[in-house]
Amino acid sequence: MNEQSLSVNTGSNIELFITDLSSEGFGIGRIDGIAVFVEGALPGEKISAIVTGEKKNYLTAKLTEIIIPSPNRQEPFCPVFEKCGGCSLQHMSYSSQLDYKEKKVKDAVERISGLKNVQINKIIGAKQDKGYRNKVQFFFDYKNDEVNCGFFGRKSHVVINNYNCFLIDNAANRLKNEFAAFIKKNISEFYESNSKSAIPKSIIIRQSFKANELMLIIIISKKMDKRLEDLFLILHDDLASKIPELKFVYYSVNTDPSDYSLNNKIMHLAGSNAIIETIGDLRFKISPGSFFQVNTLGAEKLYGKIIELADLKINEAALDLFCGTGTIGLFLAFSGGKVYGIDIVESSIKDAKENAKMNKTRNAEFVRGDVSKFLEDYISDKINSSTSKSGAGKIDAVVVDPPREGLGDKLVSLISKLNAGKLIYVSCNASTLARDLKSFDVLGYNVKEINPIDMFPHTVHVESIVLLSKVENGVSQKG
């Protein structure tokens, strides 16, 4: 940026009219033709701010005063909203959040994919905008002799204490608070003076809403020994006496001081083995490390839309890639046809197989494996071969629900070579979705419709369900 062309620099006080929101939820205004990003500002507002940073093509600024507020502004319901990184849109009315997310998908598709005249349907809102999460991770730090438990702060690893997180159920909040209280009361047993840190690094809470049961996974900083195991069993007994919903306790060791994530070795400590959740008419076992949609009520809407778009007939077959615990695949199987699910996570495939048995589903098979390798084997062994290494015959529809990084060129190419008439792409990242849609278009798959769905109220995240169809001789197959 040419500093001479600007009338402001870092530290300058400015007034701005906010005209838009970024994909991260920052208000956007302009000064001297340069975009200024202001956290907490909303479109339609006139604000005062202090410039905090100068980048190559834009400025950042800190909101200091709202001179003219947006009619869509509301008072945040969480007392630590401005500090906590758990959610970032509480200052917007829910209806304006939906408008923002629908626009976010449209903007990404137009800007990144370059596709024109794409049908983007009205966003599907959430039935419940609070207490909707069935999985949450809270972090610990131990500064100034205090035990802090909560989400990390915005753009930091500072833990923000919050007694009541509005995104989770009351039982999950009680479990978090009782766990933190026990650690604080017994900190001398858990604290390691040589590393100046306590052994519990974070906790993951999973919940079955139908059964009203909780699973606790404790991520610890050192290898479990007899003394520590006895201590955690005492902790379990204390929690179970106060939180009757607690039925499952696991732990995982992660010795990297900067890494709070769950690794592949998850050990059972106490209680039963796995949560059972019910969605629609189907029941699903969920192990500690398995993927499952974090919004149970939203998942029912999500799967219903996928089944509608797939319209799988009894004589047709579908691939469910990145299948997790088999939720989408089993819903597809119950609607008719044969389904093959693939996922790299061992616990997910184990759950998927058990879920098929539990729901008495005979027309769904689940295979553990890398999706790329599975598709390469399938394609190399001829698409219509009943003796292919993959075990699948002709594929009529493909459903993909990849991680946030999307598919990428290699997987897009492999999936296109299946020549399935229909492709349903489920995405939680509008940018990587748009990138992949552009690649699919080049390879002969037209976007028929995009359906945004709000699975994460009060955050900037939005899910999308996209229907694509194979073009043959200039005409899309199956609708």
Question: How many residues belong to the chain?
Answer: 479
pLDDT at 255 (0 to 100)? 86
Confidence grade of residue 222 (pLDDT, cut at 50, 70, 90) = confident
Q: Is 55 exposed, middle or buried (0-12, 13-18, 19+ CB in 10 A)?
A: exposed
Percentage of the chain lying above the pLDDT 90 cut: 79
Helices (H), 311-407: 327-334, 346-358, 371-380
Tokens of 419: 């020549």
Give Cα separations from 245 to 34, 113, 163, 170, 272 (angstroms). 53, 46, 18, 11, 12
Minimal CA–CA distance to 205: which of 154, 259, 243? 243
Those residues whose C-beta lies under 8 Å from the C-beta of residue 421, and which sit 6 or more positions away, are: 396, 397, 469, 470, 477, 478
Asked whether the beta carbons of 403 and 433 are under 8 A apart, the reply is no
Helix (H, G, I), strand (E, B) or coil at 304: helix
**pLDDT exceeds cutoff 60 at 52:** yes
**From 78, 84, 87, 428, active-site residue:** 428
Confidence grade of residue 273 (pLDDT, cut at 50, 70, 90) = confident
**pLDDT exceeds cutoff 60 at 95:** yes
Per-residue pLDDT averaged across 441-450, rounded?
97
* Run of H or E including 51: strand 46-54
What 8-state DSSP symbol labels residue 238?
H
**pLDDT exceeds cutoff 60 at 392:** no
Asked whether the beta carbons of 279 and 358 are under 8 A apart, the reply is no
Confidence grade of residue 191 (pLDDT, cut at 50, 70, 90) = confident
- 78 catalytic, yes or no? no
pLDDT at 474 (0 to 100)? 55
**pLDDT exceeds cutoff 60 at 64:** yes
Q: Spell out the long-range contacts of 2-7 with Cβ–Cβ below 8 A and sequence spacing 24 or more.
A: 3/54, 5/32, 6/31, 6/32, 6/34, 7/31, 7/32
pLDDT at 142 (0 to 100)? 83
Helices (H), 203-295: 226-242
Q: What is the DSSP string of 54-68?
A: E-SSEEEEEEEEEEE
Find the radius of gyration of the CA atoms of the chain.
Answer: 24
> How many Å from the N-terminal Cα to the C-terminal Cα in the chain?
49
In angstroms, the CA 327 to CA 399 distance is: 12
Point out the least confidently predicted range of 70-74, 152-156, 337-341: 152-156
pLDDT at 479 (0 to 100)? 45
Q: Which residues pair with 139 in a beta bridge?
A: 150, 202
**pLDDT exceeds cutoff 60 at 383:** no
pLDDT at 239 (0 to 100)? 97
Minimal CA–CA distance to 150: which of 168, 132, 134? 168
pLDDT at 472 (0 to 100)? 75
Point out the least confidently predicted range of 46-60, 187-201, 381-395: 381-395
**pLDDT exceeds cutoff 60 at 336:** yes
Domains and CATH numbers, the chain: 3-68 (2.40.50.140), 110-126+279-476 (3.40.50.150), 135-278 (2.40.50.1070)
Per-residue pLDDT averaged across 329-357, rounded?
94
When the pLDDT of each residue in the chain is averaged and rounded to a whole number, the result is 91
Tell me the pLDDT tens digit for each residue of 278-306. Answer: 999 999 999 998 889 999 999 999 999 99
In angstroms, the CA 174 to CA 164 distance is: 8
Point out the least confidently predicted range of 16-25, 110-119, 127-136, 189-198: 189-198
**pLDDT exceeds cutoff 50 at 5:** yes
Those residues whose C-beta lies under 8 Å from the C-beta of residue 471, and which sit 6 or more positions away, are: 444, 445, 446, 477
Per-residue pLDDT averaged across 53-59, rounded?
92
Per-residue pLDDT averaged across 193-211, rounded?
86
Helix (H, G, I), strand (E, B) or coil at 100: helix
Question: Higher model confidence: residue 199 or residue 320?
Answer: 320
**pLDDT exceeds cutoff 70 at 3:** no
Handedness of CA 19, 21, 22, 27 (dihedral sign): positive
What is the distance, to the nearest Å, from the Cα of residue 341 to the centroid of all Cα atoms in its chain?
A: 20
pLDDT at 146 (0 to 100)? 80
Question: Higher model confidence: residue 385 or residue 314?
Answer: 314
Confidence grade of residue 196 (pLDDT, cut at 50, 70, 90) = low
pLDDT at 193 (0 to 100)? 67
Asked whether the beta carbons of 112 and 435 are under 8 A apart, the reply is yes
Confidence grade of residue 384 (pLDDT, cut at 50, 70, 90) = very low
In angstroms, the CA 112 to CA 118 distance is: 13
Tell me the pLDDT tens digit for each residue of 161-176. Answer: 989 999 999 999 999 9
Give Cα separations from 303 to 189, 279, 344, 399 (angstroms). 46, 9, 21, 11
Question: How many C-beta atoms lie closer than 10 Å to residue 429's C-beta?
Answer: 20
